[in-house]
């Protein structure tokens, strides 16, 4: 193994410092005794305690989680269906147009997506609340799901589905019993992507939320405008912790599955 050269060590340190110093500062100051965010006055976990008693934050967190679960589930169903038709539907009129259009919301400025959804909801007289946020989040995250799932479907061996049909499955059974279990990892990662997108969305949510429902990012943003409090730091630290645990677990699970498969294949090759 090569040792790190002096140059590489410096670039590595600078790069990671750039990425993580802001977050580390945030975490450190969430344990600050003082109410002043920038002045260190000793270690304390009191802001976490206060956070737990802050009804407004807890409400917002609950709204955010519900929105994320509903919208990502809805987006996964719609996005998977769209991906399946676009990859498998064969040629139909406007297929290229549709597959191009599925990518458009990925690059569309969020302000425009939010504004147009707001106009739509006002136009059809839908009161803004949890439902409208769910619909809005579903709209923009389903294309992410469909991109993830269709990239898996493109490499999916078509003859597996044909084999299922050949053995007596109806097309719907073939999808449920063969296709879906095999593409499940892509569908799940699509769901996770949609879930995180919904969790941290501020722009679209602020267009489509109403007085009855506020999501956590909106709450944090409006609180920060009145001044950063250590409570916000504590809240953000908790969010960072949740995301970190999620990412590490997911990567461990996939890595272990890959290693097991590799070992099995090696064993199979040896017994040949």
Partner 1 sequence: MSATVFAPWDDPQAEPLIQFQNVSKRFGDFTAIDNLSLDIFEREFFALLGPSGCGKTTMMRMLAGFEKPTDGHILLGGRDIDPVPPNKRAVNMMFQSYALFPHLSIWENIAFGLRRDNMPKHDLEERVEEMLRLTRLEKFARRKPHQISGGQRQRVALARSLAKAPKLLLLDEPLGALDKKLRQDTQFELMDIQEKTGTTFVIVTHDQEEAMTVASRVAVMDQGQLMQVATPDRIYETPASVYVADFIGDVNIIQGRATAQGDESYQVDWAEGQPALLAKSATAFDTGQTCHLAIRPEKVAISADRPTDAVNAVQGKVHDIAYLGNLSTYHVQLADGTIIKAQTANTRRISRRSFTWEDPVWLSWTATAAVLLAN
Helices (H), the chain: 6-30, 46-53, 55-88, 95-101, 104-107, 110-123, 130-154, 158-166, 171-174, 180-200, 203-208, 216-225, 230-271
Check residue 170 for interaction with partner 1 (CB under 8 A).
yes
- Residue from 97, 157, 225, 226 in contact with partner 1 (CB under 8 A): 157
The one segment of 30-38, 106-114, 172-180, 228-236 that binds partner 1 by CB under 8 A:
172-180
Please state the length of the chain. Answer: 272
Residues of this chain, 86-115, that bind partner 1 according to CB under 8 A: none
- Residue from 14, 41, 96, 163 in contact with partner 1 (CB under 8 A): 163
Helices (H), 31-129: 46-53, 55-88, 95-101, 104-107, 110-123
Instruction: Assess contact for 161 and 198: CB atoms under 8 A.
Output: no
Q: Smallest distance from the beta carbon of 260 to partner 1, in angstroms? A: 10
- Residue from 181, 243, 249, 259 in contact with partner 1 (CB under 8 A): 181
Nearest partner of 57 among 227, 165, 217, 164, judged by Cα: 217
The one segment of 175-183, 188-196, 212-220, 243-251 that binds partner 1 by CB under 8 A:
175-183
Q: Smallest distance from the beta carbon of 165 to partner 1, in angstroms? A: 4
| Binding residues vs partner 1 (CB under 8 A) | 157, 159-160, 162-170, 173, 177-178, 181-182, 261, 264-265, 267-269, 271-272
């Amino acid at each position: 193994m090569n040792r790190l050269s002096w140059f590489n060590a410096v670039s590595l340190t600078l790069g990671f410092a750039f990425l993580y110093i802001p977050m580390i500062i945030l975490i450190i100051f969430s344990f600050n005794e003082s109410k002043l965010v920038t002045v260190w006055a000793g270690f304390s976990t009191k802001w976490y305690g206060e956070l737990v008693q802050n009804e407004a934050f807890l409400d917002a967190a609950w709204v955010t989680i519900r929105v994320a679960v509903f919208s990502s589930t809805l987006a996964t169903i719609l996005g998977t269906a769209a991906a399946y038709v676009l990859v498998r539907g064969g040629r139909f009129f406007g297929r290229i147009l549709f597959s191009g259009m599925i990518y458009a919301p990925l690059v569309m400025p969020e302000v425009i997506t939010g504004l147009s959804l707001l106009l739509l909801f006002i136009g059809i007289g839908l009161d803004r609340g949890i439902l409208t946020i769910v619909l809005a989040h579903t709209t923009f995250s389903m294309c992410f799901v469909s991109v993830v799932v269709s990239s898996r479907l493109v490499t999916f061996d078509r003859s597996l589905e044909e084999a299922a049909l050949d053995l007596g499955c109806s097309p719907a059974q073939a999808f449920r019993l063969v296709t879906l279990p095999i593409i499940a990892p892509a569908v799940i990662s699509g769901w996770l992507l949609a879930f995180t997108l919904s969790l941290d969305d501020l722009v679209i949510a602020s267009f489509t939320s109403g007085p009855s429902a506020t999501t956590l990012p909106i709450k944090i943003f409006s609180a920060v405008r009145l001044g950063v409090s250590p409570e916000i730091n504590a809240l953000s630290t908790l969010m960072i912790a949740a995301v970190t645990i999620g990412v590490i677990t997911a990567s461990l699970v996939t890595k272990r599955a890959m290693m097991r498969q590799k070992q099995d294949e090696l064993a199979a090759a040896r017994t040949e």
